[in-house]
Structure formats: structure tokens, C-alpha cells
Amino acid sequence: MIKLQAKITTTFLFFMLASSSAFGLTSTCQSFESTRTAHHSVGLTWYESTVSNILEWETALVGPKTETVEYVARNALAAGAVWHSLPYGNYTLTGTSRIKTRELGEWEVFSSSRCSISFNFPEPPKCESTDVVETGSTNYSYNVASLVRDGLGKTARSKFSGCTSGSISTSGTGLILKNVKQCCEDTGKTEEGWIASGAINLGVSGLNCSLKLYPPAAVGLATVEFAIGLGVSGSASASGSSRLCNTNAQAASLTGSANGTLSASVSVYTTINREIAGVTGQGSAGISVSISGTSLSNDTVSACLNALTVGATVTFLYNDFSLNHNFTVVDRYACT
């Protein structure tokens, strides 16, 4: 809480008339926001200078500053009380006055007047602006796409060998983490925070591996080699924000998914003394990737491969006979 201290001055004003007879009296209550000033003024509208008078008046100010002023002045033309630099807040100002004149040696009330106003001196804004202002930002699109590629690569390497790194692609508004600040009106202090937002489309391609199997001798093949290709495409989005002034925090969230294909083609080396005329055999299975986390820089990616079996047919020269066999590339649903 910011404490405001102001020097408050009450000024009393008197304008004297040596001898007068009043035929009218006014009480005026006024306030001025620009100077935080309030005053009650009392004045005779017109007079004669033949009879003495007594001017009685009372002013009551109620608010953050409260004060009552009473005074009696003899032979006064005008009077009043003024308060300067009042504290901010709501006020009520009430003023009453009466004039006495002397007729045949006796003082009698000739005229009375009253005024009353309510007013407010609002506290000025503590902030020139309460807008949320961006002070910097980081785009994590490539980072998240890299996590997907790395997660897919980790799963592939758990099953295959000689895997390449693959390439990634992104498009869209981007996964953005903004650094922001805001001036808080209730305290006048500036708070700093962050906002996560945005969405991307992403892809991973060119992730190639190999798998070498050694079938039983009865099959007649010495070595079977598979060329493995993996690729996915999907999307991801980010949301969340830190607490800023009076807005509640929303936990950071990164969500997304990608789907693709695991494909395999086969080549063989035979133990039979026959020249190979050709080999056919290929297959594919699905890949799924899930993306989740509470930040944009350190998140969880889980990649799963579906089971894949490739049936290979080896045809020998002159087509005098051929070999057929099923090879298991991925034996069961596998995730990392």
C-alpha cells in the first residue's frame, strides 16, 4: 500500500466592514479537483453602512479529512474557510451562516443561509498503462520437432542398427514462449511473467535404418538384410501463462501427436549354389508419436512402432525353384 501524505492547510478569510446593515446573505460550498481544494464562503449580497452586524457561520467537512469550524465575526462583509491539498477520497461539505443586525438596541437574526455538496478527489492511476507488454520471445518449434525426431530415432535404434538422424520440417505460427511484464494498478509495481502459445505442423523424414537377420539353414538363405524407412507427420500446440497482477496462472501445456509409416524392403544372400534371379518382399506398419509436457524446452515424446512381418520370395536363375519365407521385422508393439 502506498501512503500518501499531503500538507493540509485550513485558511480563514474575513473581509471587514466598519458599519453595515445586511439585506441578503449567501453560503457557497465549492470543491476543485485539480488542486484538491474545498471551501465554504459566506458573503453579504448588499448592505447599508448605518447599522452594525454580527456574522455567525459554521462549516463541517467530513471525509478522509474531517473538521468542523465555527466562528463569529463582527461587522464582516464576507468570511469563509478553505482546505488545501486534501487527501484523496469522498467528502461531504456543509456550511451554514446567519447575520444579526441591531435594531433599537437589540440584536435580531435578519437572514440565514445554508449549502451542502458531496464530492470526490479520485486517486490518480498508479500506472500509466496496465497493458501486458512483451519484452522478448523464444520460438521452440524446431526444438519440439527435434524432440519428435529424437524420440522416433530412439525407438528405431532400440530395434534396428545403422540409423541415420533424419530431417525435420515445421510450419505454422510457431510454438512461442513470450516474456511479458505488466504494471499492477493496485500496487503500482511491475510484475514479470510469461505466456506460451502457438501451433505448428511438423514432419520427420529420411530416418533410415537397417536390420540383418540370419535365418535357419533349412531356409537356404545365409543372410537377409532389410532397409528400414521411418517417417511421421503431425501437429503440436502450446498454451499457459504465469500469474500476472490479478490474473490467475494457467499451467503450461504442450500437446501434440504424429502418425506415419514404418516400411521395410529385403535383400538376401543364399547358401544354395544357385544364382539369384530376383527378390521380392516388402511391408509396412504404422507409427504413432505422442507429445506432452509442461514447458516448451523439456518435454516428453513417446514413439511407438506396430508389429511388422515381411514375406520374402527369392527366385533363382532359370526359375527352377524359389524360396518363400516370412521375416519378423518388429516382433511386437514397441514404444519408448
Identify the pLDDT of residue 18: 33
Could you read off the pLDDT of 17-54 as tens digits, one per residue? Answer: 333 334 578 889 999 999 999 999 888 766 544 456 77
* pLDDT, greater one: 320 or 115: 115
The answer, yes or no, to whether residue 1 has pLDDT greater than 50, is: no
CA–CA separation, 236 vs 247, rounded Å? 26
| End position of a domain, from candidates 121, 143, 158 | 121
Could you read off the pLDDT of 179-196 as tens digits, one per residue? Answer: 999 999 888 899 999 999
Could you read off the pLDDT of 56-115 as tens digits, one per residue? Answer: 889 999 999 999 988 888 777 778 889 999 999 999 999 998 888 776 667 777 778 899
Tell whether 326 and 204 lie within a shared domain.
yes
Q: How many structural domains does the chain have? A: 2
The model's confidence at residue 279, banded by pLDDT at 50, 70 and 90, is confident
Identify the pLDDT of residue 185: 87
Tell whether 226 and 261 lie within a shared domain.
yes
59: nearest Cα among 49, 72, 71, 68: 68
The model's confidence at residue 8, banded by pLDDT at 50, 70 and 90, is very low
Identify the pLDDT of residue 175: 92
111: nearest Cα among 123, 124, 121, 97: 97
Tell whether 110 and 31 lie within a shared domain.
yes
Contacts of 266 (CB under 8 A, 6+ apart): 224, 225, 226, 227, 279, 281, 282, 310, 312, 327
Tell whether 22 and 158 lie within a shared domain.
no
CA–CA separation, 148 vs 144, rounded Å? 6
Angle, CA 281 vertex, CA 278 and CA 284 arms, to 5° = 155
The answer, yes or no, to whether residue 327 has pLDDT greater than 90, is: no
Tell whether 76 and 102 lie within a shared domain.
yes
Any domain includes 1: no
Which domain does 282 fall in, by range? 133-181+196-239+252-335
Identify the pLDDT of residue 23: 53
Any domain includes 287: yes
Tell whether 258 and 149 lie within a shared domain.
yes
Q: What percent of the chain has pLDDT over 90?
A: 43
* pLDDT, greater one: 168 or 296: 168
Tell whether 212 and 314 lie within a shared domain.
yes
Any domain includes 313: yes
Q: Pick the range with the lowest mean pLDDT from 12-26, 139-153, 278-292.
A: 12-26
Any domain includes 187: no
CA–CA separation, 286 vs 259, rounded Å? 7
Enter the C-alpha cell of residue 102.
441591531
Tell whether 225 and 276 lie within a shared domain.
yes
Q: Pick the range with the lowest mean pLDDT from 15-29, 117-131, 154-168, 263-277.
A: 15-29
Quick one: average pLDDT of 256-276? Answer: 83
The answer, yes or no, to whether residue 172 has pLDDT greater than 80, is: yes
Identify the pLDDT of residue 278: 72
89: nearest Cα among 124, 126, 121: 121
Tell whether 264 and 117 lie within a shared domain.
no
Any domain includes 271: yes
Q: For residue 55, give the CATH number of its domain.
A: 2.60.40.10
| End position of a domain, from candidates 121, 150, 166 | 121
Any domain includes 79: yes
Any domain includes 246: no
Any domain includes 189: no
Tell whether 263 and 209 lie within a shared domain.
yes
Tell whether 141 and 168 lie within a shared domain.
yes
Tell whether 156 and 56 lie within a shared domain.
no
